Amino acid sequence: MSVNIPRGTQDILPGQSEKWQYIESIAKDVCRRYHYKEIRTPIFEHTELFKRSVGDTTDIVQKEMYTFEDRGERSLTLRPEGTAAVVRSFVENKMFGMADQPVKLYYTGPMFRYERPQAGRYRQFVQFGVEAIGSEDPAIDAEVIGLVMDIYKMAGLKKLKLVINSLGDAESRTKHREALIRHFEPHIEEFCGDCQMRLKQNPLRILDCKKDRDHELMKTAPSILDYLNEESKAYFEKVTAYLDAVGIQYTIDPKLVRGLDYYNHTAFEVMSEAEGFGAITTLCGGGRYNGLVQQLGGPESPGIGFAFSIERFIAAMEAEKVEWPIDKGLDCFIVALGDAAKDRSVSLVHELRTAGLSAERDYQDRKMKAQLKASDRQHARFTAILGEDELTENRITVKDMAEGSQDQVPLNELANYLKTKMEAN
Ligand code: ATP
Ligand code: MG
């Protein structure tokens, strides 16, 4: 019996994995510039953490979690998202007591959701996310949004749309919530079962429903922006003014609500507008969560963050046909002919690697022609040929595949010779 990969997961093979590394390296470099530091948390957490933070009424908690009991009869869950664990760790490690606030963190790693697999939707996917916890300065909202836009920009994506909204503070949300109930209640039986439940539990999330999105009442639903109190309005205006100040373009969409319960004030998403991207265009989601730290047992510490998946990032790069500036990698392939030369090539390839070059040799006892072909296939910048004659004269024939030129190089100078030539162009 053959065993296949589980549904909704994928193997990232060489040829693709370089793209992942490339995006991760850009994201990490932008985080360095913005002075965010990496945090690594476990892949599983107590189930209770997600129930309490993401929210009991959300799709994630109700339908999508990979929950299991361990041998000690604890209920554990493979993390469906990153914020809950980061905030748990913030509280547990008393990061609220650190001198420098906000605490600025980033994370990356696999997340797990039991979803219906389709293009851009996996059961295991990799998120990159950022959290800034401990400040309520609207400048930090603009910073976090600017950070993710910089990551996309550095990667070369252009066809992006940034959408933002304010969900307001608790007072504004309560008023809006009442208005939503008044709006939907008379016709709630025309909506899906989930929405009927949402009406009383969390009517805001009706606006986020994928099944009922075309219902007439969705278009006329009361806008949160009309229910923002003075404070919330002023906060939102500051955020947009700071975005203007750093030249970030955005669209305000009062219908943008986020799936998770813990958001308030600023909410945002980045979409791809590339042609042929497919039905799911959201690349990144984020927002402010001022009550979450307290909800998880810490002191009041307002936070904001975002997460995107590398899967959708790569899909956007492919849809926009952005070049991948990926180094093919191999600097030198050593072609060895005859037993003595093959023996010598073992230490020779090691010398090159020690000198920092990527080097390869033949392990299949192939003839010269096949070795040369292998060198070609592997895009070696240099092919170095070591035959009997070369070996007795302590030299090696080096072909520069880019220039088409050829040199005789003393064996013990091979590494230096290659490095000098590579630095020259
Ligand atoms: P969606 O509306 O597409 O289900 P979401 O609101 O559930 O997204 P978030 O929880 O906000 O998504 O996660 C942030 C980002 O993570 C998304 O914008 C998307 O890029 C990515 N993401 C979410 N779920 C998946 C998945 N199943 N597969 C791949 N990427 C995902
Ligand atoms: Mg989802």
The CATH number for 94's domain is 3.30.930.10
Q: Is residue 338 located within the same domain as residue 375?
A: yes
Q: Is residue 312 located within the same domain as residue 335?
A: no
Taking a C-beta distance cutoff of 8 angstroms, is the pair 271, 278 a contact? no
How far apart are the C-alpha atoms of 289 and 173, rounded to whole Å? 13
In a domain, 209, yes or no: no
In a domain, 5, yes or no: no
127 lines ligand 1 (CB under 6 A): yes
In a domain, 179, yes or no: no
Q: Which of 319, 351, 383 is the last residue of a domain?
A: 319
The mean pLDDT values, 10 residues at a time, for the chain of 425 residues are 93 96 98 98 98 88 96 98 98 97 98 95 98 98 98 97 95 92 94 90 86 91 94 97 98 84 90 87 95 95 98 96 88 97 97 97 97 96 97 97 94 97 86
Whole-model pTM: value is: 0.92
Ligand number nearest to the C-alpha of 111: 1
Q: Is residue 401 located within the same domain as residue 348?
A: yes
Q: Is residue 236 located within the same domain as residue 91?
A: yes
In a domain, 211, yes or no: no
Domain count within the chain: 2
Pocket test for ligand 1, best of 79, 114, 125 (most atoms within 8 A of CB): 125
Ligand number nearest to the C-alpha of 205: 1
Tell which atom from ligand 1 comes closest to the C-alpha of 115. 27
Tell which atom from ligand 1 comes closest to the C-alpha of 60. 7
Q: Is residue 306 located within the same domain as residue 277?
A: yes
Whole-number pLDDT of residue 259? 63
Q: Is residue 156 located within the same domain as residue 81?
A: yes
What angle separates helix 138-155 from helix 230-245, to the nearest 10 degrees?
A: 40
How far apart are the C-alpha atoms of 402 and 405, rounded to whole Å? 8
Q: Is residue 103 located within the same domain as residue 157?
A: yes
Q: Is residue 78 located within the same domain as residue 147?
A: yes
Q: Is residue 54 located within the same domain as residue 140?
A: yes
Backbone angles phi, psi at 115, to 5 degrees: -115, 170
Q: Which of 319, 353, 384 is the last residue of a domain?
A: 319
Q: Is residue 131 located within the same domain as residue 255?
A: yes
Provide DSSP, 82-150: SHHHHHHHHHHTTGGGSSSSSEEEEEEEEEE-----BTTB-SEEEEEEEEEES---HHHHHHHHHHHHH
Nearest to 37 by CA among 144, 152, 131, 162: 131
In a domain, 10, yes or no: no
Q: Which amino acid is at 200?
A: K
Q: Is residue 252 located within the same domain as residue 356?
A: no
> Which residue's CA is the nearest one to ligand 1's atom 21?
309
Ligand number nearest to the C-alpha of 282: 1
> Which residue's CA is the nearest one to ligand 1's atom 30?
309
How far apart are the C-alpha atoms of 333 and 382, rounded to whole Å? 6
Q: Is residue 384 located within the same domain as residue 251?
A: no
In a domain, 337, yes or no: yes
Backbone angles phi, psi at 172, to 5 degrees: -65, -40
Segments forming the whole domain that contains residue 398: 330-424
Pocket test for ligand 1, best of 121, 125, 151, 282 (most atoms within 8 A of CB): 282
In a domain, 210, yes or no: no
CATH number, domain with residue 412: 3.40.50.800
Q: Which of 319, 345, 376 is the last residue of a domain?
A: 319
How far apart are the C-alpha atoms of 120 and 212, rounded to whole Å? 21
In a domain, 59, yes or no: yes
> Which residue's CA is the nearest one to ligand 1's atom 5?
259
Tell which atom from ligand 1 comes closest to the C-alpha of 121. 28
280 lines ligand 1 (CB under 6 A): yes
